[in-house]
Structures are given as structure tokens and as C-alpha cells.
């Protein structure tokens, strides 16, 4: 069997090719109409490339189609990456086709699936992620599957806390802003967050963490999260300092910004927290 199967608008297999130059009709209705394309056939899922990514028909249908008519998740061929990660945040890759900063990824190892976002791409060498940590050491910790998603599956949500925020260790939206935040979309994962303050503490800046359903997401600093810096300076949660038990966000989940450690003079003020979620 050739590497790729071309189909027409009705799903009929019209030709096979090793280096297709045209996009494949990926609509699951057409692919599954029984007119010659079978579940194990390989199809191109990366248009405009001499070495496109590929998936089986079954994988395409299982992955689903986004609102723009493209794949939500594209399976990355195992030849494109090294199964044993280079570190907890870096995957070595020989082919970074389809990879870009800001795109979501999901990966499977040890029979579990995890989510992250791409923060750096070194062409045909590696990708760096933020979110769930990769596992090193080989064996069951090797990647069993790697997927890259579309940009529309990444959601940013910002929170603002006015006036002083690090005078008491407490939930800031509830106690400072007299407000609540509720996730109204489908299943997602909080993979990264950053924070900045307009006025820094005069001595030692306070620390904060994000909560999902009352549970802390960042594992930085023994779960205290991130420590703010000078006025106007963004501080990122460490790339893979994410509690994968707590980063799952279901429809209806409560979201909260928590001061975990108070400031030295407690006068840091006007806080913004920016969160990045990946839709499942």
C-alpha cells in the first residue's frame, strides 16, 4: 500500500501517492461512506508539504473535525520524533512540520494522556512545551503517541485584582474583588499562567497560585506558585511545574487566583494573571 490515499468529495479512493501535492478530503462522512477507503488506510493530514504528517482514516475520524473543517488533533508520525524526551519539557524531533509556537500538543506515555502548549520550535531539531511534564528514563515513560492541535483549541483568560493583593493569604477573586469565575466551555487543561503587578512590594513580593475547583495547579515552590517581580514585569509559571491531578478543567469548574505567601510590606498592588487553557 502507498503512503497516502487520495479521495474525492464523495470519499472514493482515486489514487495513491507517496508525496501528495493536494489536500485530502478529510470529512469523516466522506471517509466513512464505504466507497473504497478503509479504516487502516493512511491519508495526508498536513497540506502543502513534501513530507506531510499522516494518520489512518480511523485516527482521523476519532480525532474529530474543528469548525474550520480541519483536524482538531493530528497524529505526529513516530519517525518525526524521538520517543524518549530530551528533558521534562523538550522533545527531540527530526521533522517539525506542522509545529509552531502557541499550538497545543497532547502526548501519551505510561497509558496516560497529557496536554501542553508549544513555547519554542527549533526547526527539525526539537520542540519545547509548557504544561504537563514529559517523563525521561525510557521504558514505559517513552512517548507512545504525540499529537499537535489547531490554534483554535487554545484559550486565554485574564484576571485582574485591583489595589493591594498580597496582604493576606487568601482567594483573591472572592475576597478582594467580590467576584467568581466559572469555566463555561468543554473539557480543558490549564497548562500555563503568568502574572504581573503595577506596583511592587517595597521589600519582598508576594506569591500566588491558580486554583481549579479549589486545588492548586502550580507545583512551583512547594505549591506556593510564582513570586511576583518588579512593577510591570511578567513572571511565568515554570514550564512544566503543573500538577496534572489538578490542571483538568471541566465545564462548571470554579477558577480562582490565590495569594499563597504575603508580601514583606504587603503593598504590592494591581495584579493581572493571564492563564492559557488547552481544549481536549
91-133 pLDDT, tens digit each: 999 999 999 999 999 999 999 999 999 999 999 999 999 999 9
Mean pLDDT across the stretch 201-221? 98
CB 105 within 8 A of CB 165: no
**Which set of grid coordinates corresponds to residue 240?**
512544566
Measured distance CA(83)–CA(92) in Å, rounded: 8
Percent of the chain with pLDDT over 90: 74
pLDDT band at 44 (very low <50, low <70, confident <90, very high): low
Segments making up each domain of the chain, as ranges: 4-72, 76-149, 154-279
Q: Closest Cα partner for 149 from 57, 87, 64?
A: 64
Buried b (16+ CB within 10 A) or exposed e, 141-158: ebbeebbbbbeebbbeee
CA angle 49, 52, 54 (to 5 degrees): 160
Measured distance CA(122)–CA(11) in Å, rounded: 37
61-65: long-range pairs with CB below 8 Å, 24+? 61/28, 61/31, 61/32, 63/147, 65/26, 65/27, 65/28
Range name among 52-56, 71-75, 93-97, 247-251 with the lowest pLDDT average? 52-56
Residues 6+ apart with CB under 8 A from 245: 215
Mean pLDDT across the stretch 52-67? 54
Place of cell 482538531: 72
The β-bridge partners of 271 are 161, 197
pLDDT band at 256 (very low <50, low <70, confident <90, very high): very high
CB 4 within 8 A of CB 18: yes
Q: Which CATH number fits domain 154-279: 1.10.260, 3.30.420, 2.40.128, 2.60.120?
A: 2.60.120
Residues 6+ apart with CB under 8 A from 37: 5, 7, 11, 12, 13, 31, 43, 57
Largest CA distance in the chain: 72
Taking the complete model, does pTM exceed 0.85, yes or no?
Answer: no
pLDDT higher than 70, residue 16: no
pLDDT band at 34 (very low <50, low <70, confident <90, very high): very low
Torsion of Cα atoms, 126 then 127 then 132 then 133, to 10°: 30
**Which set of grid coordinates corresponds to residue 241?**
511545574
CB 150 within 8 A of CB 252: no
Q: What does the DSSP 8-state code read for residue 121?
A: E
Q: pLDDT tens digits, residue range 156-194?
A: 999 999 999 999 999 999 999 999 999 999 999 999 999
Amino acid at each position: 500500500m502507498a503512503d497516502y490515499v487520495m479521495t474525492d468529495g464523495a470519499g472514493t479512493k482515486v489514487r495513491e501517492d507517496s508525496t501528495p501535492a493536494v489536500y485530502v478530503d478529510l470529512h469523516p462522512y466522506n471517509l466513512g461512506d464505504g466507497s473504497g477507503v478503509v479504516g487502516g488506510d493512511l491519508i495526508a493530514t498536513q497540506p502543502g508539504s513534501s513530507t506531510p504528517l499522516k494518520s489512518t482514516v480511523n485516527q482521523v475520524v476519532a480525532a474529530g473535525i474543528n469548525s474550520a473543517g480541519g483536524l482538531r488533533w493530528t497524529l505526529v508520525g513516530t519517525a518525526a520524533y524521538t520517543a524518549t524526551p530530551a528533558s521534562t519539557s523538550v522533545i527531540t524531533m527530526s521533522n517539525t512540520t506542522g509545529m509552531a509556537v502557541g499550538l497545543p500538543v497532547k502526548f501519551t506515555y505510561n497509558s496516560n494522556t497529557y496536554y501542553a502548549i508549544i513555547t519554542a520550535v527549533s526547526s527539525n531539531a526539537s520542540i519545547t512545551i509548557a504544561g504537563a511534564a514529559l517523563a525521561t528514563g525510557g521504558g514505559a515513560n517513552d512517548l507512545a503517541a504525540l499529537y499537535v492541535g489547531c490554534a483554535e483549541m487554545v484559550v486565554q483568560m485574564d484576571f485582574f485584582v485591583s489595589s493591594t493583593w498580597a496582604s493576606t493569604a487568601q482567594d483573591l477573586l472572592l475576597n478582594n474583588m467580590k467576584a467568581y469565575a466559572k469555566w463555561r466551555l468543554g473539557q480543558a487543561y490549564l497548562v500555563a499562567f503568568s502574572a504581573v503587578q503595577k506596583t511592587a512590594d517595597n521589600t519582598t513580593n508576594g506569591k500566588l497560585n491558580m486554583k481549579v475547583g479549589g486545588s492548586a495547579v502550580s507545583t512551583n515552590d512547594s505549591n506556593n506558585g510564582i513570586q511576583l517581580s518588579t512593577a510591570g514585569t511578567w513572571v511565568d509559571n515554570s514550564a512544566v511545574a503543573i500538577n496534572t491531578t489538578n490542571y483538568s478543567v471541566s465545564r462548571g469548574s470554579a477558577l480562582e487566583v490565590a495569594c499563597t505567601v504575603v508580601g514583606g510590606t504587603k503593598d504590592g498592588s494591581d495584579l493581572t494573571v493571564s492563564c492559557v487553557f488547552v481544549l481536549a
